[in-house]
A and B are shown apart, each in its own frame.
Chain A
Amino acid sequence: MTDIVDQATTTNQAVTTDELWAITTQVEVTSAPARPVDELWNPAGPGGRPPTPTTVRPQRPGPGTPPPIRRPIGKIGRDDVLVLLGALLSSASIALLFFGRLLPLTGRLGFVVVWFVVFIVIYGLLVSITDNRPAVVDRVMAALLTAATCIAGGALVSVVFFVILRGWRALRNTNLYTQDMSRAGPLDPLTVGGISHAIVGTLIIISMALVFTVPLALACAVFLTETRGKVTELVRSVVTAMTALPSIVAGLFIFATWVLVLGQPRSGLAAALAISIMMLPIIIRSGDVVLRLVPGNLREASAALGAPQWRTVWFVVLPTARPGLATSVILGVARGIGETAPVLLVSGITGAMNVDPRENPMMSLPLATFDFVRSPQPSLIARGFATALVLMVLVIVLFTIARILGGRPAGRLSKRQARRATNNSARDLQRIEESHSAATPTSDDHPPPPILDDLEPTGVPS
């Protein structure tokens, strides 16, 4: 506790009131202070005692004064839209003029950049007609932030659509999903050969990696949340640092131990081990965050009922955090499924179907993509894009499942879950009452037990 406080005080960057005043824009003084300012700050005259802070209450406006004009907050007015549209249109016209007529400029990228720069200038100018400087800065910065988001979103959209566009031709052939590449040469048309070996290989590798990582990662996440001390902090910081472990290093590690020291063959199993090394810190890290979000009063309620800690964890903490834990596992899988380098290193490239993870190379989808696009053959490149598309669809499906599961904060129940919990606790209450009344014979001086139907089970969020 104390070091938290220490940390908070040493790194305290609380905003001083002066700074806040410096950024205020429109503080309207409705009436003048009753006393002159000099007297207010130094009541004993120059050279007297230090000034005492005084609060001046603004006086009520007289009956004749008009009410102050309210500034609309949080609404987009007609003027805002007009200013925005005007700036967009005029900057586009100016940029077109530059590029088409006045200057020898070409290129789409340059056009967009010039358009944006001119837009920012015109937008700032238009806003400055009606508003003061802080408002102009605010609008311009909002436009810049929006632009940053548009760049990021545009990149994502272009990645997704580009892969769809290039892979569509190969994706339509059903033999892509049913055949492998063992009988298809580089010059064969898209109607021969497919990526079934990579699909099967990916599924085998990722399931094995899941079996290896999930129990260990969840136990370690519980370790990080349920214990405190130097060791816990050490494990936490090591795990955090390892989340960005280069995937090729994970591959090299398994290569050094599994293949070189232990003398095992390069195989799907080795690839699964390498991917496990990579996924482990990712799942632990996000699992730790999710478990910490479990409300403390649930733990305390369980402890107050006399449960030992392991029962608290098993029956309260883990079930409460289940959707979040599922999300962190799925996100780890989404990262692991797309890794190419470890599979390349410890499993190797093959064109044939291999379902035995103990020996011989096993292909995964990202590795197949990589292998296809290294070739100059257009049909192989099209296959590569189709493989990437299959991989991306797989990732997006996993991702959507994770979002649906993890959409709710820990401890918040859906309607059906809440109803079930209510029924459960009502049944529990009935059971307790029955066993109690069976154990102690009712005597006349005890009041009758309350009627069940009147009871509203409490403590269940609705």
Chain B
Amino acid sequence: MIATTIPSRTQDVTAADPIEIVETRGRGDKAFFGGIGLSGFLVLSLMAAVGVFLAYEGLAALRVAGPSFITTSTWQPDANTGGFGIAAIMPFTILIATIAVVIAAPIALGTALFITEVAPVWLRSWLIAAVDLMAAVPSVVYGLWGLFLLQGQVIGLSRWLNTWLGWFPLFSVSGADPNSPLSSASVYTASSFIAGIVVAMMVMPIQCSVMREVFSQVPVGEREGAFALGSTRWGMISVVALPFGRGGMIGGTMLGLGRALGETIAVLLIISPRFDFTFHALEAGSNSVSALIAIKYSEASDFGLSALMAAGLALFAITLTVNFVASYFIARSRSGAGSEA
């Protein structure tokens, strides 16, 4: 039996002077903190090294190109005349990613709200698993699906959009004649629009799981308060859940944008590369930085490789900025504050 002796109180003891509490660490703890601190430092320096080495390798090309790296749209680093730059591929990358996010974000938001608010409880865990599975499906599989199934379906939609909304630059297609029944469908294939839809399938689950996470942390008190005042379910969502989850919604959307900017294989499978930027999203041909790297690296000279590294650096800088902004929004949302405790 373990007996705890209670110190008996004696009459003549006065209150003890306050003592200083010092946190002492034993030898084991010192080694432990040293070890995990080292691992944190290692990870940090590894991540910094990604940027540093890309910059180091890309410097040779950047020095030659100078500011024309941003203004040139062709990519011929090995020819003496053409020059090279990201003026076409970067806007194409952003166009594809924007199309993807515009398509994915509403679906992600709707699915996240459906899972947290509408779906019966037994269905929820299945839906969460399905969304997580969607995130785990390899991008090359989505690429196959887009190339062999979706492309044929989307051409009709592209033709319709071009016919009725063709006055709007985004939907106009040069070389397409909606009035001619003989016009070929090939002007609508391999477009930024189709690549954007496929990338949307990839980023939707990421956005959805961030949003769902935030909506599931809505305080029960506020939720039930709204119901107790007689609110409908949508009234509760619009007044409690959406304002609460605003940070997570913005952050999740941007996290998806960061993912969409860097997508390689699915885009590479679908697009046919071109180097003159056009806003006509439905038109055949598109490009992206990562697809360019994957196409060109094998035949590139040393200097060409350096130019590709510079393009990779530009992509890296943009995705990193987007992701930092995303994590800022996610961390600032009220939901992030609660998990610290």
Contacts and interface: CB of A to CB of B under 8 A. Distances in A.
Interface of A: 4, 7-8, 11-15, 19-27, 107-110, 134-135, 137-138, 141-142, 144-149, 151-153, 155-156, 158-159, 162-163, 166, 216, 219-220, 222-224, 226-227, 231-232, 234-235, 237-250, 252-253, 255-257, 260-261, 277, 280-281, 284, 292, 308-311, 313, 331, 334-335, 337-341, 344-345, 366, 369-370, 373-374, 381, 384-385, 388, 391-392, 395-396, 398-399, 403, 432-433, 436-437, 446, 449-450
A203 B233 CA distance: 48
A249 B316 contact: yes
B281 to A, nearest CB: 17
Contacts of B341: 4
Nearest to A387: B140
Chain B, interface SS category: helix
Contact of A366 (B107, B140, B337): B140
Contacts of A137: 232, 234
Interface string B156-181: 11001000000000000000000000
Contacts of A145: 110-111, 113-114, 117-118
Given A135-B232, A147-B110, A239-B43, A339 B138 contact: yes
A143 to B, nearest CB: 10
B257 to A, nearest CB: 9
B214 interface: no
A284 B107 contact: no
B235 A134 contact: yes
Interface stretch (B11-19, B69-77, B81-89, B146-154): B146-154
Contact of A158 (B145, B233, B238, B255): B145
B54 A253 contact: yes
A21 B235 CA distance: 11
B288 to A, nearest CB: 10
Given A145-B118, A163-B144, A152 B134 contact: yes
Interface of B: 1-2, 25-26, 28-29, 31-33, 35-40, 42-44, 46-47, 49-50, 53-54, 56-57, 106-111, 113-115, 117-119, 127, 129-134, 136-145, 147-149, 153, 156-157, 160, 201, 204-205, 208, 222, 225-226, 229-240, 243-244, 246-247, 255, 258-259, 261-265, 268-269, 290, 293-294, 297, 305, 308-309, 312, 315-316, 319-320, 322-324, 326-327, 330-334, 336-337, 339-341
B97 to A, nearest CB: 11
B49 A8 contact: no
A433 B246 CA distance: 57
A227 B43 contact: no
B264 A248 contact: yes
B231 A310 contact: no
Contact of B340 (A4, A153, A341): A4
A252 B309 contact: yes
A237 B324 contact: yes
B264 A341 contact: yes
13 contacts: A19-B239, A24-B230, A141-B234, A145-B110, A149-B111, A227-B36, A235-B44, A237-B331, A252-B293, A256-B309, A339-B138, A395-B136, A449-B1
